[in-house]
Amino acid sequence: MAAQALPLLRWSRSASSLCVRSSPAASRRLFPALRRPAAARCEAGSKVLLKEMDYPELEEKGFRPGQAMMLWKCLYGNNVWAHSHDELAGLNKDFRKMITDHANLKALTVKDILAASDGTRKILFSLEDGPVIETVIIPCDRSRTTICVSSQVGCAMNCQFCFTGRMGLRKHLSTAEIVEQAVFARRLFSDEFGSITNVVFMGMGEPLHNIDNVLKAAAIMVDEQGLHFSPRKVTVSTSGLVPQLKRFLHESKCALAVSLNATTDEVRNWIMPINRNMDDAKRLIELVQGIPCKINLISFNPHSGSQFKPTPDEKIIEFRNVLAQAGLVAFVRLSRGDDQMAACGQLGEPGEYQLPLLRVPEKFQVAL
Ligand code: SF4
């Protein structure tokens, strides 16, 4: 879900060594291939993909609590972020062999890493079955670095300002493929940027369209014994899938952002940043009356084939000032990484087949 164009509303709710004996029976108990869900299987083989499981599931698979916790910490904590069986330090030799024989630790392969002039990095990951997804690392200062994760290959929402939307929906990402983006960010960039502190689900895809896997991935990310992101610093952004939005608020401790893009249904139905006058600011003030929130203003980031242009800086400032004068907390967010197509709304590679551009409503044609 690329946070794009007009305002993005965001609110937070107040939001030892192991002793195990390997045997065929134990192996089946630990890695019950016969009863594992299809999504937990590695496409390339018959091994279990450990990152498909949250901690209760890992324990349920037959690990004793101590075993499960040590494995969990190797996968997600203690600055290990294990990707190979050699990195499972401290685990009992037999237990490690069992994992080597029956499980995989890694869900993605790095295809390329692009560096933008402002320090932003875009990582291209290959999935097991071929498609490529993109993840963005946005360093701000030593105390805050944000990772922007993808939740789908492409997207079904066809927002008119978004490059990803041109792709159409190719695939939902699995829990492991989502979590692995955060694991890779920590492995690759913790030394250079310091702690990776924030996660935003604003990469490729509408996260709430893939809500089961996103809820589980977010829960794994905030687990205190693992990646341990603060739930307040994990933000899922949606274009506004209302039933899923309610479910998310009910089931997750993480923050939610709604990408508005416009303040009337008429404009929103066609979704465009028609921020030519201050009427939107005034409607926005009315819309959020009584809602504890902050508003992020993000300009359009251009891409080939788009009919939109970025809003001039002075217009964005003017918009922000109208909101501020009404007592709202509003920030102008700088675009990061746009020289490497790593900014909001620029991820993906649509290819030959693209979703159609929507007809421009007559009254807005003069605005283009
Ligand atoms: S098309 Fe999908 S990824 Fe792009 S802004 Fe819309 S919901 Fe987000």
Does any ligand 1 atom lie closer than 6 A to the CB of residue 162? yes
Q: How much distance in Å is there from the Cα of 120 to the middle of ligand 1?
A: 21
Q: How much distance in Å is there from the Cα of 207 to the middle of ligand 1?
A: 9
- Give the pLDDT means over successive 10-residue stretches in the chain (368 positions): 48 31 41 40 65 91 81 89 87 86 92 96 94 95 90 90 89 97 96 93 96 98 96 94 91 93 71 57 89 89 84 84 87 87 87 80 71
Residues 259 and 266 sit within 8 Å (Cβ to Cβ): no
pLDDT digits (tens, 9 = 90+) for 159-180: 888 999 888 889 999 999 999 9
Does any ligand 1 atom lie closer than 6 A to the CB of residue 165? yes
What's the pLDDT score for residue 270?
62
Catalogue the active-site residues.
Answer: 134, 344
Residue 203 Cα: closest atom of ligand 1: 3
What's the pLDDT score for residue 34?
28
**CA dihedral for 261, 215, 131, 198, sign (positive or negative):** positive
Does any ligand 1 atom lie closer than 6 A to the CB of residue 157? yes
Does any ligand 1 atom lie closer than 6 A to the CB of residue 164? yes
What's the pLDDT score for residue 2?
55
Total Cβ atoms within 10 A of residue 311: 20
- Cα distances (angstroms) measured from residue 65 to each of 59, 81, 103: 6, 20, 18
- Cα distances (angstroms) measured from residue 340 to each of 18, 72, 119, 160, 170: 46, 35, 11, 20, 23
pLDDT digits (tens, 9 = 90+) for 112-154: 999 999 999 999 999 988 899 999 999 987 689 999 999 999 9
What's the pLDDT score for residue 305?
82
Q: How much distance in Å is there from the Cα of 237 to the middle of ligand 1?
A: 10
Q: What is the residue with the minimal CA distance to atom 8 of ligand 1? A: 1
Q: How much distance in Å is there from the Cα of 117 to the middle of ligand 1?
A: 25
Residue 237 Cα: closest atom of ligand 1: 8
What's the pLDDT score for residue 314?
79
pLDDT digits (tens, 9 = 90+) for 22-64: 334 444 444 443 234 434 444 445 788 999 999 999 888 767 7
Does any ligand 1 atom lie closer than 6 A to the CB of residue 134? no
Does any ligand 1 atom lie closer than 6 A to the CB of residue 149? no
What's the pLDDT score for residue 241?
84
